[in-house]
C-alpha cells in the first residue's frame, strides 16, 4: 500500500472517529461536557507548568549541592515541598475529573446507541441481515459487545490519548525554549571550515525521536488488525457461552455437553491463537520501546558530558539540560509510548464506526407502508414479500380479512408462512406495498419472549404490570389454563427456562386474554399443547375475537387446528424450481 493510500485511509479514519466523538459535546449535556473538558485541559496545562518549575528547581538544587550552600539547599527543599503539594493536588483532580468525563460520556453514548439500536426495530434488521447473509459486510457481529465494551474502551481511550497528546504538545512547547537556551552551540570543522549548530541538544532530541517513531510504527504496525480480530473472537466466544446458558435444557436433554465443549474449545482456541500472535507483536514492540526508553535515560548526559567536564556548565545546569531533554524527548516519544494503546483504540473505533454505519442503514429501511386504523377489516394491497435467500414469496398480492373471519394459513414447512406474518406485522424488511391493520391487533410469535422479571411483568409485557390489578392478571392465567401460577405473580424467575414449552405457549395466550385484542395472529400458538387443551383455548380465542368484532388468522401444521377456522390460505410452490415462487390461495 502506497504512502498516499495509507495517508488517505488514516485521514478517513480520523474523520470517522471525530464523527463518533462529536455528538456528546453537542448533546443536551454539552455544557457539562464542555466544562469538564475545559477543566481537564486547564489542569493539564497547570500540570505541565509544574514540570517547568521542577525543571528550574533542578538547577538551583544541584548547584547548591555542588557549592555546598546549605541555606540555599534548605530553601530549595521548602520550595520542593510546596511544588510537590501543588503537583499532587493537580494530579488528583485531573484524574478525578477525567474519570467523571469518561463515565458521563460513556453513559450518554450507551443510552444513545441503545435507543437507536431499539428504534425502528434496528436490532431485528441487523440480526436478520447477519444470519441470513443479506449483507454480511454491513452486518456487525455481537452488537452487545459494541454497546457494552467497545463504547467503554472508546470513551476511556479517547480521553486518555487526547489528553496525553495535549500534554505532549504543551510539554514540547514549554521545554523546547529551555532546551534551546541551555544547549549552547555545537561546533565542528568540515573541509577546513568551522560550522556551529545552535540548540544542538534540541535537534538531537528531535532526530532521536523521529527515528524511534518510524521504527516503532514499522515494528508494531500489525497490532491494529490483531487487536480488531481479538475483540471479534472474544465476542464470538462469549456469545456461544450465552447460547449454552439460554438453551441449557435442550442441550442437557440431547446430552450435547461433549459437542458444546468442542465448539467452545474451538472458539476459545481461535481466541488463544490470535492472542499468541498479539503477544508476539507486543513482545517485539516492547523490546524496542524498552530499549529506546533505557537509552534515552543516559543519552542526554552523554551528549552534554563534554561541556560539563570542560567546565562550561555546572552540575545544576547539566541536570536541568538532562531534565529538559527528557521532557522534550518524552513529548516527542508520545507516539512510541502509546502505540499499543493507539492500535487498540483504532480497532475499537473501527468496530464502532462499522456499527454506526450499520445502524444508519438499518434505520433507513422502509420496507412497506404499514398503518393501524380503526377500520373494520385488515387489508393488504400490492404486497410483495421476498425471502432472505432472494426468492420471492408473494408478488403484488391483495389480501382482505373481514370481521368474523377465521383463517388458517397452511403450507409446507419453510414455505414462508411466518415470513408473511412478519410482513403483515410490519417488521419484515424485504417487503413492499401497503398493509392496514385494525388498531386492536396482537401477534403471537412461535417463540414468545418473557423477560427475567416477576411473573406479573412477564404477563403484562411490554405494558407496565401496574396497568392491571391482581385479579385481572390471575383471571388471565386461569383463562390460559395456568391456575398453578396465580399465586406466583411476584415471583422473580427466568420464565423461558422455568416453564415447559406448553406452559410458555399458555402464558403467551394469557397475554392475549389479559389485553383482549379484537384481532389475533397466532403462529403455531398451540403446537406444544394436547388436543383437549388446544380445543379449549381456541374456543376461548374465538369468543374473544367475536366479542370484539374481530378475526383470527392462524399458522399451524396440525390438522386439528383447521376445524376451528372457516377459511384456509395455502402457500404452494410453483413449477419453476430455480426460484422459490409462491402463490396465495383462499378456499
List the beta bridge partners of residue 373.
438
Q: What pLDDT score was predicted for residue 478?
A: 95
Confidence at 579, pLDDT banded by 50, 70, 90: very low
Which of helix, strand or coil describes residue 472? helix
Residue 491, pLDDT above cutoff 80:
yes
pLDDT of the residue at 188 = 60
The three grid cell numbers given for residue 412, joined into one nine-digit string: 409446507
Q: What is the pLDDT of residues 17-45, one digit of tens each?
A: 898 899 999 999 999 999 999 999 999 99
Q: Indicate the pTM of the whole model.
A: 0.73
> For residues 440 and 148, what is the distance between their CA atoms, to the nearest angstrom?
36
Strands 519-523, 567-573: pairing is: unpaired
Whether residue 154 is predicted with pLDDT greater than 80 in this model: the reply is yes
Instruction: Find the mean pLDDT for residues 431-439.
Output: 87
Count of C-beta atoms within a 10 Å radius of residue 425: 17
User: If you average pLDDT over every residue of the chain, what do you get?
Assistant: 83
What is the average per-residue pLDDT within 404-428?
Answer: 83
The confidence score (pLDDT) of residue 185 equals 66
Cα 327 off chain centre by: 37
pLDDT in tens, 367-380: 677 777 776 788 88
Condensed to tens digits (0 to 9), the pLDDT of residues 53-77 reads 888 888 888 888 888 888 888 988 9
CB atoms within 10 A of CB 535: 16
Compute CA distances 493 → 217, 219, 456, whole Å. Answer: 53, 53, 11
Which residues partner with 460 through β-bridges? none
Amino acid at each position: 500500500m502506497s504512502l498516499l493510500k495509507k495517508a488517505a485511509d488514516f485521514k478517513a479514519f480520523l474523520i470517522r472517529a471525530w464523527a463518533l466523538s462529536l455528538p456528546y459535546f453537542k448533546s443536551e449535556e454539552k455544557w457539562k461536557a464542555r466544562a469538564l473538558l475545559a477543566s481537564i485541559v486547564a489542569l493539564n496545562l497547570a500540570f505541565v507548568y509544574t514540570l517547568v518549575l521542577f525543571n528550574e528547581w533542578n538547577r538551583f538544587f544541584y548547584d547548591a549541592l555542588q557549592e555546598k550552600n546549605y541555606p540555599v539547599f534548605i530553601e530549595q527543599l521548602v520550595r520542593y515541598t510546596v511544588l510537590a503539594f501543588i503537583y499532587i493536588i493537580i494530579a488528583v483532580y485531573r484524574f478525578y475529573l477525567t474519570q467523571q468525563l469518561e463515565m458521563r460520556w460513556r453513559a450518554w453514548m450507551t443510552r444513545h446507541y441503545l435507543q437507536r439500536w431499539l428504534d425502528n426495530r434496528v436490532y431485528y434488521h441487523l440480526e436478520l441481515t447477519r444470519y441470513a447473509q443479506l449483507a454480511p459486510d454491513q452486518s456487525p457481529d455481537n452488537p452487545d459487545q459494541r454497546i457494552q465494551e467497545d463504547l467503554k474502551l472508546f470513551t476511556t481511550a479517547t480521553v486518555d490519548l487526547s489528553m496525553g497528546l495535549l500534554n505532549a504538545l504543551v510539554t514540547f512547547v514549554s521545554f523546547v525554549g529551555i532546551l534551546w537556551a541551555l544547549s549552547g552551540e555545537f561546533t565542528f570543522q568540515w573541509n577546513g571550515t568551522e560550522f556551529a549548530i545552535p540548540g544542538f541538544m534540541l535537534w538531537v532530541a528531535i532526530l532521536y525521536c523521529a527515528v524511534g517513531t518510524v521504527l516503532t510504527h514499522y515494528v508494531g504496525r500489525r497490532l491494529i488488525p490483531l487487536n480488531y480480530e481479538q475483540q471479534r473472537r472474544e465476542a464470538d466466544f462469549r456469545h456461544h457461552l450465552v447460547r449454552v446458558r439460554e438453551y441449557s435444557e435442550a442441550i442437557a436433554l440431547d446430552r450435547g455437553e461433549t459437542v458444546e465443549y468442542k465448539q467452545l474449545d474451538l472458539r476459545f482456541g481461535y481466541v488463544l491463537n490470535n492472542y499468541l500472535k498479539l503477544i508476539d507483536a507486543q513482545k517485539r514492540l516492547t523490546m524496542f520501546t524498552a530499549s529506546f526508553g533505557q537509552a534515552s535515560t543516559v543519552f542526554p548526559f552523554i551528549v552534554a558530558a563534554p561541556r560539563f567536564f570542560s567546565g562550561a556548565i555546572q552540575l545544576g545546569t547539566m541536570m536541568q539540560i538532562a531534565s529538559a531533554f527528557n521532557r522534550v524527548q518524552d513529548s516527542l516519544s508520545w507516539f512510541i509510548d502509546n502505540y499499543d494503546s493507539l492500535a487498540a483504540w483504532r480497532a475499537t473505533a473501527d468496530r464502532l464506526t462499522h456499527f454506526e454505519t450499520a445502524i444508519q442503514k438499518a434505520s433507513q429501511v422502509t420496507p412497506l407502508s404499514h398503518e393501524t386504523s380503526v377500520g373494520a377489516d385488515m387489508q393488504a394491497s400490492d404486497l410483495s414479500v421476498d425471502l432472505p435467500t432472494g426468492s420471492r414469496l408473494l408478488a403484488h398480492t391483495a389480501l382482505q380479512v373481514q370481521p368474523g373471519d377465521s383463517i388458517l394459513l397452511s403450507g409446507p414447512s419453510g414455505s414462508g408462512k411466518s415470513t408473511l406474518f412478519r410482513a403483515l406485522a410490519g417488521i419484515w424488511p424485504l417487503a413492499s406495498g401497503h398493509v392496514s391493520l385494525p388498531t386492536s391487533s396482537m401477534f403471537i410469535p412461535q417463540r414468545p419472549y418473557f423477560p427475567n422479571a416477576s411473573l406479573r411483568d412477564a404477563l403484562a409485557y411490554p405494558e407496565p404490570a401496574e396497568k392491571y390489578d391482581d385479579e385481572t392478571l390471575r383471571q388471565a392465567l386461569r383463562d390460559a389454563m395456568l391456575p398453578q401460577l396465580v399465586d406466583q405473580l411476584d415471583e422473580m424467575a427466568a420464565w423461558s427456562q422455568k416453564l415447559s414449552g406448553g406452559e410458555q405457549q399458555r402464558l403467551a395466550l394469557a397475554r392475549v386474554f389479559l389485553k383482549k385484542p379484537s384481532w389475533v395472529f397466532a403462529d403455531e400458538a398451540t403446537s406444544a399443547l394436547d388436543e383437549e387443551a388446544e380445543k379449549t383455548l381456541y374456543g376461548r380465542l374465538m369468543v374473544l375475537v367475536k366479542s370484539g368484532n374481530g378475526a383470527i388468522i392462524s399458522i399451524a401444521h396440525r390438522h386439528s387446528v383447521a376445524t376451528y377456522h372457516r377459511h384456509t390460505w395455502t402457500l404452494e410452490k410453483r413449477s419453476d424450481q430455480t426460484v422459490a415462487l409462491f402463490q396465495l390461495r383462499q378456499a
